[in-house]
Structures are given as C-alpha cells and as structure tokens.
Amino acid sequence: METKNKILIVDDELFFREILKESLRERFTIVEGKNGKEAITLVAEHKPDLIIMDVEMPVKNGIDACKILKNDCSTRHIPLILFTSRSQKKEMVLGLKAGADDYITKPVYLPEIIARIDAHLRSKGFYSDLEYQDLQFLLRLTEDISAIRNPMTILQLIVKKISVVIDVARCSILSVNDDGELVVKASSDTEICCENEELKLDITKYPEIQKSLESKQPVIINDVKNDPLMASVQSEMQEFGLNSIVVIPVIKKESVIGTFFLRTASPIVDGITDRVCNLCRLIANISASALENAVLFESMQTAQEYFEEMAVRDGLTNLYNHRHFYDRIEEEFSRAHRYGSPLSLVFFDVDDFKRVNDVYGHTHGDQVLRKIGHLLKEVARESDIPARYGGEEFAIILPNTSEEGALDVANRLHSVIRNHKFKHLNGETITISSGVATFSDESVPSFDRLIQLADEAMYKAKESGKDKVLQTG
C-alpha cells in the first residue's frame, strides 16, 4: 500500500482546519496544530512533507514560526505555504522574506490549494534522478538569475544555460499573447534584440504547445515520427532532424507573468530521460519565481505595492475585480453625492457566451474574455474604472458623466466589440447587451440602487433580443 504524504495544518480557527482536513484527508495524512509554537513541536515529532500555516495566530504567529523552521537545517527543506487575508499585504511580504515557499490568500479556493500542494510535493521528487553536476547547475542558475531584474535577460540566460547542460538542438521560451498568437521570448539559436521585436509563430504548427496550453501540464514527445499528436507536423520535424520534444508550462501566478512555455527539441532517438524531464521541470519552477520577482521589481517600487495591486485585479482580463468594483463605486457615489456631480454606470454581458465555450472550447472562450477586457480598457477614459464583474459580465464606472455621455461610451463599446474580428471563432461576431444607469439627483439614493438600475437595464436588453444598449427610465 502506497504511503500517504503527511501534511501539517496550523491555524487557530478550528472551522478552517476542519475544511482543509475534509478536503485533503483522502490523499494525505493530516496533522494539525493551533499556533506557531505547536507547529515547531509538531514538525520535529511528525516530520511532515509539507506545512500549511496561517499568519495571524496567538502565542507565536506564522511568520515567526516560519523563520525558525527555515533557519533549521533539519526542517528548511519542508515546503511551507502561508495563508493570509487579503488585507495582510505587509505580512505576505514578511512571510516570503522569512523563507515561506508560497502564499495563498483567504477566503480560500480549495482546488487552488490542492494544485499548490501537488506542485510543491511533486518538485521534491524531481531531484532523485539528477546527477551531481545537475544540482550544481541548478544552484548556479538560481544564483545568476535571482540578481537580475530584467525579465527578458532572465529568459535569454535560461535558454542559453539549458542548451549547454542538456543535449538539445533548440531551447526556447514562448508565450501566448492576448490574440492567441505564439510569441518567441527567448531562444538558444535566435537573438531577440529588444522587447518590441517579437517573433511570432503559427500555434497550429506546434500541437505539443497547444496541448500544454489547454492542460496546463507538461507534454513529452519521445518519438516525433510516430506520436499521433505530431502527425500534422511530422514532415517539418523530420526536416530539422528532431526526434524528442519537451514542453513545460512556466506557471507561477498567471495574472502576473502570463503563460510561458519552456520547449526543448532534441535529436535524441532513445527518448527523453527522467533526468532531462525533471531538470526541465525544476528549471521551469526556478524561471517562474525569477520572472515573478523581476516583473514585481520592474513594475512596482516595492513588493507591498505589488501585492496590493494584484489583490484588486482579475487574473484573466487584468481588469479590476468584483471586490474592487464595489469599493470604488461606493467611493465614487459618495463623492458624487457630496459635490452634486453626475455618476454613471454601464453593465454589459457577452451574448450567448456559453455557446462560445461549447463550440470552440474554454481556452478560446478565455481568449475572447481577455480580448474584451483589452477592448474595454481601450474605450475607457483615464478617469473611468473598468471591471470584470464576474463570468462574462463586465462593468465600467464613469465618474462625472451624464446620461448622454454614458450612453455614448456604451454605444462605442458595443460597436468596438461587435466589429472586432476574434481569432479562432471562424468569423463569428461577438455581441453584448448593455444597461446604463446614472445618478444625478436624489432619485437614486445609494450606490446599490445605481447597480440595481444598470443591472435591470442590461437584462431588459437581453430579454428584448440582445445586441443592444438600454438606459433606465
């Protein structure tokens, strides 16, 4: 019988511990504690394979316990995930500085927790097939890229190092842009001169990357000539003398660094060894962390600012999320009420979006939503606040905007989306149903009522045939 991995859950809230235990007990042996002091004792006693610990706890908090465990050579190797509330931005930074391997914000999403646990436990086993020089290489690579703050420099360094250590004909890091195009970010045999010079590829000619994009899992091709996945591109592969391919998704927090793929193509006839595969996976993990840190330092002055920004962004569209939408509309309504200025709100829903997912798949459906978010930001003025309300519903808060101005914005947005040619939809048009509401006097007593009026107008637009803009009143 296979031995279960042991997980230590540390939280002073019994209810939270019970939720996690119920979700994890089938696959893992669970040990639990109530505070950081207990955690240190339980780690020594039970030697868990992974620790999940809350930051805010009595007696000894999670950050202090993390410091002690990560400074002890007998426990520092144990993956440690910290839980924080969304309001604890400073604690997130302090936790990572204390040595935590990862963090998750409350309220928790159970599938995300399980995915993070699997990723950390799986990476522990990758080292068993590596050779001594591989471990030296990983250590040097980590040291080299950890000091670099330019993401493109990190990518180019990674592909050059891999091509030296592993017998590959080509090593590349690619990404998929908002239009679903495959873009080469770095390659061992191509110099990308600057960030504005993008080398774009036809993704249909890379079925292995398509599969990795859809599954978010590694794809290993040991025999290009006979693998059914590669049937459509066998002639091109043979022309380059390639027999084996590894594609590893480089995913840490997708909303931050996007979706990157580490792809190595090799003339090796005997297939990809466990050593090569595991080395590529570990490099992908190192790359993800380095890229995240580089983007963090490039775009934000401090890590605290970074966490604050990401807490209010929707991961798919990079628009403001549902929570931040409510914070801002309450703030803007209070300002409009105080100064007697108008405030408008536009709600819109993508018509028949379920059919897009059913016919073209969720990957292409996500690309549609991502592009709509991009179009919404293009239409929005600097003072406007665009948000993804949820699912295929979007909103845009229009401060100091009258009914006429709001209707103009809604109609422009309607036209831009209707006329856009969405890739991979076979020329099919995407339409939206929009509702517009405006506060200009005491007839709209609260921001909740403004939201209700815009929502009602949007649903009237849908019920009366879709593909239109309606105002309240």
Q: How large is the average pLDDT for residues 276-293? A: 71
Confidence of residue 191 (pLDDT cuts 50, 70, 90): low
Take residue 28 and report the two structure tokens written for it: 């893992």
Poorest-pLDDT segment among 87-101, 215-229, 274-288: 87-101
**Percentage of residues in the chain with pLDDT exceeding 70?**
80
**CB half-sphere exposure, 424, CA atoms < 13 A:** 20
Indicate the SS3 state at residue 428. Answer: coil
Residue 171: count other Cβ atoms within 10 Å of its Cβ: 26
Q: 434: which strand partners?
A: 348, 469
- Between 277 and 149, where is the model more confident? 277
Give the separation between CA 380 and CA 396, rounded to whole angstroms: 8
Give the separation between CA 318 and CA 297, rounded to whole angstroms: 18
Give the separation between CA 453 and CA 433, rounded to whole angstroms: 14
Please tell me the predicted confidence (pLDDT) of residue 268: 63
Length of the chain: 473
Confidence of residue 296 (pLDDT cuts 50, 70, 90): low
Please tell me the predicted confidence (pLDDT) of residue 253: 47
Poorest-pLDDT segment among 29-33, 157-161, 293-297, 375-379: 293-297
The closest of 390, 300, 410 to 345, measured between CA atoms, is 410
pTM: 0.42
Continuous segment of H or E residues that includes residue 347: strand 343-350
CB under 8 A, 24+ apart: contacts of 141-146: 141/283, 141/286, 142/286, 145/286, 145/287, 145/290, 146/290, 146/293
Please tell me the predicted confidence (pLDDT) of residue 194: 43
Query: Which DSSP letter does residue 290 get?
Result: H
Strand order of the sheet with strand 5-10?
28-33, 5-10, 50-54, 80-85, 102-106
Confidence of residue 196 (pLDDT cuts 50, 70, 90): very low
Please tell me the predicted confidence (pLDDT) of residue 15: 85
Q: How large is the average pLDDT for residues 176-197? A: 67
Most confident of 155-169, 191-205, 414-428: 414-428
Residue 401 burial (CB < 10 Å; 0-12/13-18/19+)? buried
Q: Is 344 in contact with 400 (CB distance < 8 Å)?
A: no
Please tell me the predicted confidence (pLDDT) of residue 421: 92
Please tell me the predicted confidence (pLDDT) of residue 473: 61
Please tell me the predicted confidence (pLDDT) of residue 420: 94
Give the separation between CA 242 and CA 224, rounded to whole angstroms: 7
Class assignment of domain 130-299? alpha beta
312-471 — its CATH code?
A: 3.30.70.270
Q: What is the pLDDT of residues 400-437, one digit of tens each?
A: 999 999 999 999 999 999 999 998 898 899 999 999 99
Take residue 259 and report the two structure tokens written for it: 């979706």
State how far Cα 156 lies from the chain centre.
22
- The C-alpha angle 381, 384, 389, rounded to 5 degrees, equals 125
Residue boundaries of the structural domains of the chain: 5-124, 130-299, 312-471
Q: What spatial distance separates the first Cα and last Cα of the chain, rounded to whole Å?
A: 68
Class assignment of domain 5-124? alpha beta
Q: What is the pLDDT of residues 84-135, one digit of tens each?
A: 775 555 666 677 777 787 777 777 667 768 877 876 776 555 555 566 677 7
Contacts of 349 (CB under 8 A, 6+ apart): 392, 393, 394, 432, 433, 458, 462
Please tell me the predicted confidence (pLDDT) of residue 375: 95
pLDDT at 306 over 60: no
Rg (CA), the chain: 25
Q: How large is the average pLDDT for residues 275-292? A: 72
> Where are any strands of DSSP class E within 377-468?
385-390, 393-399, 432-439
Take residue 280 and report the two structure tokens written for it: 């590529």
pLDDT at 279 over 80: no
Most confident of 162-171, 173-182, 341-350: 341-350
Confidence of residue 149 (pLDDT cuts 50, 70, 90): low
Residue 109: count other Cβ atoms within 10 Å of its Cβ: 11
Indicate the SS3 state at residue 102. Answer: strand
- Between 230 and 150, where is the model more confident? 230
Q: Is 429 in contact with 416 (CB distance < 8 Å)?
A: no
Give the separation between CA 366 and CA 356, rounded to whole angstroms: 10
| Cis, peptide link before residue 445, omega less than 30° from 0 | no
- Between 325 and 291, where is the model more confident? 325
Contacts of 363 (CB under 8 A, 6+ apart): 213, 214
The closest of 57, 124, 116 to 84, measured between CA atoms, is 57
Which ranges constitute the DSSP H helices of 226-342? 234-239, 254-257, 274-299, 303-311, 322-339
Angle at which helices 151-165 and 132-146 cross, to 10°: 160
Q: How large is the average pLDDT for residues 321-333? A: 92
